Amino acid sequence: MNSVNHVLLASHGTEGAMAAERLALEMCSKGAKLHHLIVVPTFWEGMTGDDWLNNGSTRDTFRRYLEDELGREVDEHCERVSRHAEEKELEYTNEIVVGEPDECLINSCRKEEYDLVIMGSPRPKGKKGLRSRMKPESLMRTLDVPLLIVPYPSK
């Protein structure tokens, strides 16, 4: 397998994204740079429960709870990937952004030159969880760096 020296890993901790993480770590040579992009989709901005929370104070409390939980999950995810990168003697950086996943990935690629972009494939139908809303077609039309979409694990 070829090794790469500067990889953008788009991962958010789901099973499919973790398959992409494993392959990214495997493909990076010792001393390579691994930039980890975590996109918090914009739909989380509107998760205040307005339809069932009946006053501003309750909505604010619930919003803070959601932000804290999401922040904790993102921090745990970054720490896990960072630990694996350190074990492989990689230079690890991360970027956490809110937006549309495909647009954020494209913007990240415009700021830095990468050898390869690695991401997981969309979750198969029938698998529980939110869909990432990543639009691979827009990536393929826009990116000028190779894009590797790792198949969803069959386990």
pLDDT digits (tens, 9 = 90+) for 70-104: 778 888 989 999 999 999 999 999 999 988 888 99
Residue 128 lies in a domain: no
pLDDT at 80: 93
CATH number of domain containing 32: 3.40.50.620
pLDDT at 51: 56
Q: How many domains does the chain have?
A: 1
pTM of the model as a whole? 0.81
Question: Alpha-carbon distance 91 to 89, whole Å?
Answer: 7
Residue 152 lies in a domain: no
Mean pLDDT for the stretch of residues 19-32: 94
Residues 6+ apart with CB under 8 A from 114: 6, 7, 8, 35, 145
